[in-house]
């Protein structure tokens, strides 16, 4: 019989017990899980010694859900029930999902699209959770215990909705999320760059289907994402396609001058869809072989029992893909320009993604930056490894001296809509998270008992140029005169960049709050553009803001004067009243235009023209307050 150790209440079973924490790279094509063991980070493998788990989920006939390579093998035979690249749909509405060319049938659902499968409508969160469950099981088997938590990586350009969806998927998989971490930040951590001095890090991430560039700024242990760029339709797959096109031309299956060899071979019937698939698989193998050797043979049997067999030298491969490589450098150049830095300002350059193994890509990056990029960590694993290192720290498994903790920042400012469609920024962009900020607001109208709160995200001055995140109402404000209520609005962003907003009227304590489940529907490019536009529109925005502020002031004064006239018009003589009325009319008229100075003058004129009226009203209010009271009762 085994003897079980029983720990005494209040005593920890082992003084230095490690908490099992992992890093998860939940990728579009492949996912990985990594952990720090004996002080070294490593990617965890399955029982077949495979580290990469294809991010594919298949819903089978027998209610069986399969994930990974087995599921990927069914993608062609059963496309509707085999979900690939689900990451593209996380936190997205139906319009976004339809922009991707896929075989799926979508169902519109509040918040996020659903994918129709034989097992019912599945949200991208549920599909992702199946991938995460497999990774969790793998981690628990390898590490021999229950997981304490995980750091999960997300692209730097993921918005709140996509981040929230990722967290929900983890929760559904029974994983406690210690932190969501930006993928480029994770790669920089893997190289230990967070321990370094201040400076810029450029992360060059060329995967199978997408290309991302991020510029990070490290300052006092905090990574800030300064700029992101990329091309969501450029990756290793395009290099494979070039090899297939080359093979079709070389074998004479299509004319050498044909601009679209694959399309024309398919439509002419000289190439079947199965042949194309076989050639694409062989092209990928040949491409990968050319990263290690200078010559390979492209060899592929075709369905009509013939075969294509062609020698392919690295030089030739480089020549037929040179324009793809230069496209990556063009994107890098543009992203550095957005970040307002030169190639020489980049302290380190980090390579991520399997396709960065291609020697021509590495050479192009090295020549652009004037020095080789960091590449000694496997570019497929570097993100998971960085996440594992971060998870290890967050779980409290620090060694002596490891007292630093990486913080992340919010990518776009968070604020509120104020009168006139203006944005009041409450949490500025690049604030380190977690963060809490509050600001006081007041009512605009006498007796106002409700306040509509509109939470927005973005850098621009006008609400219409920012992204709407949430709307809610604070009701039950005690009626007071305009400007008397004090409403404190607090923003709280947790460690994962998720926001909750609370509004509280200070005298009565009435409260309302919202956890931001943002309205969906912004594409990655649009998010990047929002940042870009805020730089280029700064001066136009300032003018627009000045105009709106003046308009709001005009409205406020107009309203206040009108309600004063309603109550105390008898304090004015006929002719005085006529003057005030004409000043009001002038204000109303200029308010309709866009001449900020003219509105300001009309506001000033009305303010001056009603000074005597205001002082008479004051006298009346005081004498009312004092009526019937003796001098010793007045405090
Ligand atoms: P990822 O999405 O990061 O897993 O990258 C996958 C892409 O990297 C695919 O296009 C692969 O063909 C490519 N890749 C993987 N290994 C190599 C290699 N040794 N040489 C060139 N490309 C590679």
CA of 353 to the centre of ligand 1 (A): 7
Which of 208, 230, 294 has most ligand 1 atoms within 8 Å of its beta carbon, as the pocket-test mutant? 208
pLDDT of residue 409: 61
Nearest protein Cα to ligand 1, atom 3: 353
SS (H, E, C) 439-473: EEECCCCCCCCCEEEEEEECCCCEHHHCEEEEEEE
Select from 26, 236, 382 the residue to mutate for testing ligand 1; criterion: most ligand atoms less than 8 Å from CB: 236
For residue 577, give both structure tokens: 């009243």
Report the predicted TM-score, pTM, of the whole model to 2 decimal places. 0.66
Report the alpha-carbon distance of residue 179 to residue 379 in Å, rounded.
22
- Ligand 1 atom with the smallest distance to the CA of 292 is 19
Distance of CA 245 from the midpoint of ligand 1 (Å): 19
CATH T-level fold of 15-235+323-408: Nucleotidyltransferase; domain 5 (3.30.420)
CA 413/CA 464 separation, integer angstroms: 15
* Every domain range in the chain assigned CATH 1.20.1270.10: 539-626
Q: How far apart are CA 92 and CA 114, in angstroms?
A: 10
In the residue annotation, 183 being an active-site residue is answered as yes
Q: How far is the CA of 1 from the centre of ligand 1 (A)?
A: 52
Helix (H) or strand (E) holding 215: strand 211-219
Catalytic residue flag (residue 87): yes
Q: Which ranges in the chain are annotated with CATH 3.30.420.40?
A: 15-235+323-408
Tell the residue number behind the tokens 């304590």, with chain if given. 509
Whole-number pLDDT of residue 534? 57
pLDDT score for 497: 62
Active-site pick, 183, 496, 505, 541: 183
End-to-end CA gap in the chain: 86
Residue located nearest, by CA, to atom 20 of ligand 1: 288
Q: From the CA of 467, how far away is ligand 1's center (Å)?
A: 35
- What pLDDT shows up at residue 187? 96
* 239 CA closest ligand 1 atom index: 10
Segments of the chain assigned to CATH 3.90.640.10: 236-322
- A 10 A CB-CB count for 270 gives 16
Q: How far apart are CA 339 and CA 190, in angstroms?
A: 23
Task: Determine if the peptide bond prior to 434 is cis (ω within 30°).
Answer: yes
Are 454 and 518 contacting, i.e. CB atoms less than 8 angstroms apart? no
From 29, 244, 355, 384, the mutation candidate for ligand 1 (largest count of ligand atoms within 8 A of CB) is: 355
Nearest to 405 by CA among 415, 397, 413: 397
Q: Could you confirm whether domain 539-626 is CATH 1.20.1270.10?
A: yes
Looking at the CA of residue 352, tell me the nearest atom of ligand 1. Answer: 3
Q: Residue 178 Cα, ligand 1 centroid: separation in angstroms?
A: 29
Strands 511-515 and 499-505, by their bridges, are: antiparallel
CA-nearest residue for atom 7, ligand 1, is 208
Find out whether 360 and 325 touch, Cβ atoms under 8 Å. yes
- Cα separation, 271 vs 253, in Å, equals 8
The residues, any chain, with a CB within 8 Å of residue 579's CB and separated by 6 or more, are 609
Catalytic-residue membership of 408:
no
DSSP assignment of 270-319: SS-HHHHHHHHHHHHHHHHHTTT-SEEEEEEE-TTS-EEEEEEEHHHHHH
CA–centroid distance for 163 within its chain: 7
Instruction: Say whether domain 236-322 belongs to CATH 3.40.50.10420.
Output: no
Q: Which of 87, 133, 167, 425 does the annotation list as catalytic?
A: 87
| Closest alpha carbon to 124 in 150, 158, 156 | 158
Instruction: Determine the distance separating the centroid of ligand 1 and the alpha carbon of 136, expressed in angstroms.
Output: 25
Give the CATH H-level superfamily of domain 410-536.
Substrate Binding Domain Of DNAk; Chain A, domain 1 (2.60.34.10)
Distance CA 404, CA 422 (A): 39
Nearest by Cα to 526 from 131, 206, 99, 200: 99
Contacts of 528 (CB under 8 A, 6+ apart): 157, 228, 229
Domain with CATH 2.60.34.10 in the chain: 410-536
Q: For each successive 10 residues of the chain (635 residues), what is the average pLDDT?
A: 28 53 95 92 94 96 92 87 91 83 82 90 94 96 91 88 91 92 93 82 93 88 82 90 95 88 88 89 96 97 91 98 97 92 94 97 97 94 96 76 51 82 83 77 84 84 81 87 86 75 87 62 49 61 79 85 87 90 92 88 89 81 65 48
Question: Which residue's CA lies nearest to atom 9 of ligand 1?
Answer: 208
Instruction: Give a three-class secondary structure readout of 166-189.
Output: HHHHHHHCCCCEEEEEEHHHHHHH
Alpha helices in 350-381 (DSSP H): 359-369
Nearest protein CA to atom 4 of ligand 1, as residue:
354
- Provide residues with CB under 6 Å of ligand 1: 29-30, 207-208, 235-237, 284, 287-288, 291, 353-355, 357-358, 380
The pLDDT tens digits for 56-106 are: 999 998 889 999 999 999 887 888 899 998 998 998 888 888 877 777 889
Query: DSSP letters of 195-207?
Result: GS-SEEEEEEEE-
The whole-angstrom separation of Cα 303 and Cα 447 is 80
Over the stretch 568-593, which tens digit does the pLDDT of each residue have? 889 899 999 999 999 999 999 998 88
Residue by residue, DSSP assigns 83-148 as EE-GGGGTT--HHHHHHS--SPPEE--SSS-EEEETTEEE-HHHHHHHHHHHHHHHHHHHHTS---
Closest atom, ligand 1, to C-alpha of 290: 20
Largest CA distance in the chain: 115
Which protein residue has the closest C-alpha to ligand 1 atom 15?
Answer: 354
Rounded to whole angstroms, what are the CA distances from 275 to 72, 269, 305, 527?
Answer: 19, 11, 11, 39
Catalytic residue among 46, 130, 160, 205: 205
Determine which helix (DSSP H) or strand (DSSP E) holds 487, and give its type and residue range.
strand 487-493
Ligand 1 center to 615 CA (angstroms)? 78
| CA–centroid distance, residue 206 to ligand 1 (Å) | 8
Q: Which atom of ligand 1 is nearest to the CA of 353?
A: 3
Task: Give me ligand 1 centre to Cα 447, in Å.
Answer: 65
Q: Give the pLDDT confidence score for residue 635 in this predicted structure.
A: 45
Q: Which of 25, 194, 224, 524 is catalytic?
A: 25
E strand spans, 494-544: 499-505, 511-515
Altogether, the residues listed in the chain come to a count of 635
Q: What is the pLDDT of residue 96?
A: 82
- Angle at which helix 236-250 crosses helix 314-338, to 10 degrees, equals 150
Question: Which tokens hold the place of 50?
Answer: 């495979």
């Amino acid at each position: 019989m085994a003897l079980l150790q029983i720990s005494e209440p209040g005593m920890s079973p082992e003084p230095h017990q490690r908490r099992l924490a992992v890093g998860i790279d939940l990728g579009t094509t492949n996912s990985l899980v990594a952990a720090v063991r004996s002080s070294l980070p490593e990617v965890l493998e399955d029982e077949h010694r495979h580290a990469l788990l294809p991010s594919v989920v298949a819903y089978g006939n027998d209610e069986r859900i399969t994930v990974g390579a087995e599921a990927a093998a069914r993608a062609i035979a059963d496309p509707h029930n085999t979900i690939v690249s689900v990451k593209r749909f996380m936190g997205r509405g139906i319009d976004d999902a339809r922009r991707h060319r896929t075989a799926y049938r979508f169902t519109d659902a509040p918040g996020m699209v659903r994918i129709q499968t034989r097992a019912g409508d599945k949200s991208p969160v549920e599909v992702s959770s199946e991938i995460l469950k497999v990774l969790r099981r793998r981690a628990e088997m390898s590490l021999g215990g229950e997981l304490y938590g995980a750091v999960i990586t997300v692209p730097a350009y993921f918005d709140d909705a996509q981040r929230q969806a990722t967290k929900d998927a983890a929760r559904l998989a029974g994983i406690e999320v210690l932190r969501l971490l930006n993928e480029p930040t994770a790669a920089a951590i893997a190289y230990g760059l967070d321990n370094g001095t201040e400076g810029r890090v450029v992360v060059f991430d060329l995967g199978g289907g997408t290309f991302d560039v991020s510029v990070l700024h490290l300052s006092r242990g905090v990574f800030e994402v300064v700029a992101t760029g990329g091309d969501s339709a450029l990756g290793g797959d395009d290099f494979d396609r070039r090899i297939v096109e080359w093979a079709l031309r070389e074998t004479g299956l299509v004319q050498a001058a044909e601009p679209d060899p694959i399309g024309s071979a398919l439509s002419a019937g000289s190439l079947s869809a199965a042949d194309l698939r076989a050639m694409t698989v062989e092209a990928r193998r040949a491409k990968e072989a050319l990263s290690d050797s200078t010559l390979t043979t492209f060899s592929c049997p075709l369905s009509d029992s013939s075969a294509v067999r062609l020698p392919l030298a690295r030089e030739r491969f480089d020549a037929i893909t040179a324009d793809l490589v230069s496209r990556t450098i063009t994107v890098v150049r543009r992203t550095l320009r957005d970040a307002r830095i030169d190639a020489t300002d980049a302290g380190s350059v980090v390579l991520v993604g399997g396709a960065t193994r291609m020697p021509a890509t590495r050479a192009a990056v090295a020549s652009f930056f004037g020095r080789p990029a960091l590449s000694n960590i496997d570019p497929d694993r570097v993100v998971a490894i960085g996440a594992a290192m971060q998870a290890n720290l967050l779980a409290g498994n620090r060694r002596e001296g490891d007292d630093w903790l990486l913080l992340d920042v919010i990518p776009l400012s968070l604020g509120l809509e104020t009168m006139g469609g203006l944005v009041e920024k409450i949490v500025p962009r690049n604030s380190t998270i977690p963060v809490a900020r509050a600001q006081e607001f007041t009512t605009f109208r006498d007796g106002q008992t409700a306040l509509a709160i509109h939470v927005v995200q973005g850098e621009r001055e006008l609400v219409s140029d920012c992204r709407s995140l949430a709307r809610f109402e604070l009701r039950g404000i005690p009626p007071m005169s305009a400007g008397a209520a004090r409403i404190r609005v607090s923003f709280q962003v947790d460690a994962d960049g998720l926001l909750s907003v609370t509004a509280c009227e200070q005298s009565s304590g009435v409260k309302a709050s919202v956890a931001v489940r943002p309205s969906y529907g912004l594409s990655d490019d649009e998010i990047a553009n929002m940042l870009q536009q805020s730089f280029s529109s700064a001066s136009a925005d300032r003018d627009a803001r000045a105009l709106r502020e003046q308009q709001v002031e005009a409205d406020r004064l107009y309203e206040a004067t009108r309600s004063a006239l309603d109550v105390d018009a008898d304090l004015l003589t006929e002719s005085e009243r006529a003057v005030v009325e004409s000043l009001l009319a002038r204000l109303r008229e200029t308010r309709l235009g866009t001449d900020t100075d003219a509105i300001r003058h009309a506001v000033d004129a009305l303010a001056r023209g009603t000074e005597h009226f205001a002082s008479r009203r004051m006298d009346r209010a005081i004498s009312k307050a004092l009526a019937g009271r003796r001098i010793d009762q007045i405090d």
